[in-house]
Structure 1
Amino acid sequence: MTISEQPATLRERKKLRTRQALIDTAVTLFGERGFDSTPLDALLEQVEVSRRTFFRNFRSKEDVALTAVKQLWDVYLDVFDGIEKSGPLADVFLSAMLTTLERMDEGWYRRFPLTLRLIADSPALDGHTLRHCAEVQAEIARQLDEQNRLELRLLIEFFVAAWRCALDEWLPDCTPGELPAILRRVCSTMNSALSLEA
C-alpha cells in the first residue's frame, strides 16, 4: 500500500482530509513562525478543528510536525519486512530504501524537505527524531532476530549515517528524482570511507 491510496468510506475520507490539512498546515505554519514559538492552538485555529479532533489524529505537536519522517520509516519497515534478505545486508538496506522512496507521493516529497528544515531549527524536534530513529533501528535489528550482534548494530548505524549524508547533499535543491541516485552514490563510498587513513 502506498501513502497516496484513499480509504473507501466517506467518513474515512473526511477524517483523512482533516488529518492531511493538519499535516500540511503544520509544516507551513511551523516553517513560517518556528516550531518552538508556535503554540498548538495557532495550528488548530488555522485548520478550524478542536483539540479533541487533533488528539484523535496525533499524540502531540511534535507528532504532527514529524509526519513525513514517520511516514518514510513506517513504509521502510514494511518494505524491509517483506524484502528478500540475501547477499550483503548493506545492499538489502539500500534496496529497501530505494523501494520506499518509489512509494512516496508528490505531497510527501514537498513536505519532507520542509520537515527536515524544521528539525534542524528545533532542539525539541531534533530530540524526538533521534528517539524515533533509535526505535526504527531497534525494529530493523528485531526483524533480523539479531538485536545484540555488534556488527549488525554498526552496519545499521553506518546505513543511517549514509542516509543522513545523502539528505545533506539533496537538501539544497530537493529534486525528488535525485535522492535515490545521491543515496546510491553515498552508499557506494562507505567501504572506501572506512579505509581512510590519517
Structure 2
Amino acid sequence: MADAATDRLPLRERKKLRTRQALIDTALELFTDRGFDQTTLDELCDAVEVSKRTFFRTFTSKEDVAMAPLQDLWTGFLTELSAAEPGSDTLLEMLQDTVLLVVGRLPADGWAERASRSHRLAQSTPSTAAHNLQFCDRIVRDALALLRERYDLDPATDPQPRLALDILIAAFHCALDTWTARNNPIDTTTLAADLRNAFTAVPGALAMPLRPRLTDEP
C-alpha cells in the first residue's frame, strides 16, 4: 500500500517505485523458491516484464536487489543521521536511537517478510553475503563523513567513532539473527524489541570477564 508521501510523487516516479518493488518482491520469491544461483537475471526480468536495461537503472546486480530491503533501512539511517539532533549522552546511544527511529518508520506492508528473506539469503549465499559486507562498509564510511561534518570529532585520528558504528552494526546483525529465527511474529515491532535487547547487552559484552570452564575431572 502506497503511503501519503508516495501518492504525492509525480506519476513517472510512482511508476519507478512500483517497478522497483515488483523487482524486489519477485526476486525474493524466485531466489527463495528456486535458489539464488539457479535464478537468472533474464528469468527475473521476464517474470516482472521489464527489460534488463530497466533492471540496471534500478539495481546493480542480483545481489543488490536481493539485499534491497535491508539496504533501504540503512539508507534511511543515513538520511536520519544527517539531520539527527544529539539528544543522547553518547555517540553510540545516538546511533542506536537513530536505527530504532528508522525501524519505527518502516512500511508495514510486507517489509518485515522481505527483510527476513534478504537476511536468510545473505546467510546461505556467499555472493549476497559479500555484497552485504561491502554495503555495510559503505554505510560506515558515509556515516563517518556525516559525523565529521556535524560534530566535533575526527575519525581520521580517533578510532572511537568507527568503533561505535562497528558495534552498532554488529548489534544489529545479532538482533537480526534473533528476529529471523522466530516462527512469528516477524514484524517491525518485534525487530525493535530485539534491537533494544541487543543494544542493552553491548556494555556487558564489552566488560564481560573471561572465566575458564570448570570440569568435573579430578
User: TM-score normalised to the size of structure 2?
Assistant: 0.84
1:103 is matched with: 105
Instruction: After TM superposition, give the deviation of residue 62 of structure 1 in Å.
Output: 1.6
> Which one has a bigger Cα radius of gyration?
2
1:163 correspondence with 2:166: no
* Number of residue equivalences: 196
The residue number in structure 1 matching 2:215 is none
More helix by share: 1
Superposed CA RMSD in Å reads 1.6
Quote the Cα distance in structure 2 between the aligned partners of 1:56 and 1:155.
34
* 2:124 aligned residue (121, 125, 128): 121
Q: How does 1:20-169 map to 2 (within 5 A)?
A: 20-86=21-87, 87-106=89-108, 107-145=110-148, 146-148=154-156, 149-169=158-178
Amino acid at match of 1:74: T
Contact 2:144 2:155 in 1 (8 A): yes
Contact 2:104 2:189 in 1 (8 A): no
In structure 2, list runs of 5 or more residues that go unmatched.
149-153, 211-218
TM-score (ref. length: structure 1): 0.92
- Alpha-carbon distance between aligned partners in 2 of 1:10 and 1:191, rounded to the nearest angstrom: 48
- The one-letter code of the counterpart of 1:163 is F
Shift of residue 33 of structure 1?
1.1
- In the alignment, the residues of structure 2 paired with residue 10 and residue 140 of structure 1 have an alpha-carbon distance, to the nearest angstrom, of 32
Match runs of 1:175-186 below 5 Å: 175-186=187-198
Q: Percent identity?
A: 38
Runs of 4+ in 1 over 3 A off after TM superposition: none
Unaligned runs of 5+ in 1: none
SS in structure 2 opposite 1:147? coil
Higher deviation after alignment, 80-89 or 119-128: 80-89
Secondary structure of the 1:83 match is coil
Higher relative contact order (CA 8 A, sep 6+): 1
